[in-house]
Amino acid sequence: MLYKINKILKNAKELKILAKSIAKIIRKNCLIYLKGQLGSGKTTFAKYFISALGYKGLVKSPSYNIVEYYELEEKNVYHFDFYRIRNSKDLYFIGWKDFLCNKSIIIVEWPEKGGNLMPNPNLEIIFNILYSKNTIKRSIEIIQLKKLKKNKNILSIV
């Protein structure tokens, strides 16, 4: 691990701002894991993030197709959701290893499902959600494990 930050999210707008800041500091060749329980904000983050990278259309949830692809100026983005992946055979079937060689921005929800076929990512983002009587509290933890854009790191976004 290189760096780690923690942030409380008051609303979805704060998540959008954060996604925008992260989009500015990542490389064109980058692996990002999104962890956290159902409803914690992984897909919402991915939508804000892909829009911030320059995609003008509607960002769809990949929960049905497992992967959605976005071709942007000078970069490609793959957004995976492994929620329905059962084992590593499923990952071979979708050609996961080939995607990894693609020099793209790869975002994965539920990377835990991929077991030992999952290399260390550049960023791991953990979404926490705490339900109490009348309130919902959300926080986010961002761990940088590998290099981002030259001279950039996640400490610069807080």
Ligand X SMILES: Nc1ncnc2c1ncn2[C@@H]1O[C@H](COP(=O)(O)OP(=O)(O)O)[C@@H](O)[C@H]1O
Strand residue runs (E) in 1-158? 3-9, 30-35, 67-72, 75-81, 105-109, 123-131, 136-144
Q: Which stretch binds Mg ion (CB under 5 A): 37-45, 86-94, 97-105, 118-126?
A: 37-45
> Which of 19, 25, 30, 42 is in the footprint of ligand X by CB under 6 A?
42
Residue 136's CB: how many other CB atoms inside 10 A? 9
Q: In the complex with ligand X, which residue's Cβ is closer, 42 or 113?
A: 42
**Residue 158: helix, strand or coil by DSSP?**
coil
How many residues line the site for ligand X (CB under 6 A)? 15
Question: Helices H, strands E: what count in the chain?
Answer: 4, 7
Q: In the complex with Mg ion, which residue's Cβ is closer, 108 or 148?
A: 108
What the block records as the tokens of 108 is: 């994965």
Q: In the complex with ligand X, which residue's Cβ is closer, 44 or 76?
A: 44
113 near Mg ion, judged by CB under 5 A: no
158 near ligand X, judged by CB under 6 A: no
79 near Mg ion, judged by CB under 5 A: no
15 near ligand X, judged by CB under 6 A: yes
44 near ligand X, judged by CB under 6 A: yes
Residues in the chain: 158
